[in-house]
Amino acid sequence: MRLRADTLDNSAFPRSGARADLQIYSSRTALGADTNYNKVSFSALTAAATGPHSLQGALEVQHKLGANELPDHEIVSFGGFLRLSGLRTGELLGNSLHFGRLVYNYRISGPGLLDGAYIGASAEVGRVGNTIDSQNGEQTVHSNALYIAIDTPLGPLYFGAGRASRNQTALYLLIGKP
């Protein structure tokens, strides 16, 4: 089952509106699946702007439901730009996720040949639970990012750097949504 609502004015660099997505999934061997399990995921994002300044808030939660473990293909993979920016993409693996993020953008050029250019910063906090790699543990990770971005006709282009509370850093050149 999936419920989705979206009133964002721009999916890459929203300045107003909100988006929410709720998914509940149930796998049953009686219906031909290999294993029985249940999972739920929820994500929400909201944005507001004044002049060239915009602020976005986002939440994401994923959990297994019930006693059955998730199969390998359903494990949560997390980390990367604006998703605990100081960590490598997909660095954390586990059965659950709690994540929140605030992003500030300053529009340095308005729409013209390109759709706009931005300087941005993020503050992120997350926890992946029941991690597969015991070295990662179940600790909360704080992360920040600084970036320059351009909203091109091919999608957003980001040049950025992130730092996590584990004294990890990452540099990014990203084309497309993080």
pLDDT 10s digits, 15-31:
999 999 999 999 998 99
On the 0-12 / 13-18 / 19+ scale of CB atoms within 10 A, 152 is middle
Q: Which residues of 77-91 are buried (b: 16+ CB within 10 A; e: fewer)?
A: ebbbbbbbbbbeeeb
pLDDT 10s digits, 72-88:
888 888 999 999 999 99
Domain count, the chain: 1
Residues in the chain: 178
Dig out the tokens for 133 from the structure: 């790699």
SS3 174: strand
How far is the C-alpha of 70 from the C-alpha of 36, rounded, in Å? 9
User: Mean per-residue pLDDT for 159-176?
Assistant: 93
Tell me the CATH number at 36.
2.40.160.50
Structural domain containing residue 102: 2-175
SS3 30: helix
Distances (CA, A) of 121 to 3, 6, 81, 145, 155: 30, 24, 11, 5, 19
Q: Which amino acid, one-letter code, is at 5? A: A
Can you tell me which residue has the tokens 């660095």?
A: 91
Dig out the tokens for 115 from the structure: 């759709």
User: Mean per-residue pLDDT for 149-155?
Assistant: 88
pLDDT 10s digits, 32-52:
989 999 999 999 999 999 999
Model confidence at 129: pLDDT above 70: yes
Q: How many CA atoms within 13 Å lie on the side-chain side of 140?
A: 6
